[in-house]
Structure 1
Amino acid sequence: MTFWGGACSDYAVTAEESAGKVVVRIKETPREPGRACIMVALEITKTVTLQAPLGDRPVVDGASSRPVPRP
């Protein structure tokens, strides 16, 4: 999964699988909470291992409930 994130945070991606879809969620954790950070966006890629092959199941953004485009 590829997304845009800030330069001063770490990111983790989780997936919740069902027979009809895979819901992904991104968790942002600031490295130094409360400290000023430059406003730079970085393209971040994270890999999520599924229990079953993705197949035809859509991937859905857990925050917006919108489909995530496949590359």
Structure 2
Amino acid sequence: MAKEIIQIKDLKVYYPIRSGFWNRVTDYVRAVDGINFSIGEGETYGLIGESGSGKSTTGKAIVGVEKVSGG
């Protein structure tokens, strides 16, 4: 078995929906909700899906460009 080099558990990225006079958070858009996977040394993976399914957001969250959050 290959040495595990990355492990993602329960990855979530939520964007707040703000509304009203005070611009308060009223709900969240769940861009990525509960992704789990691991990649071993020497393994290659691809992330596929429809437009708007969260592929880019997942990649950005893994490298730290996108803030990982939960609602």
What range describes the TM-score normalised by the shorter chain of this pair? under 0.3
Greater C-alpha radius of gyration: 2
Larger helix proportion of the pair: 2
TM-score, normalization by structure 2: 0.24
TM-score, normalization by structure 1: 0.24
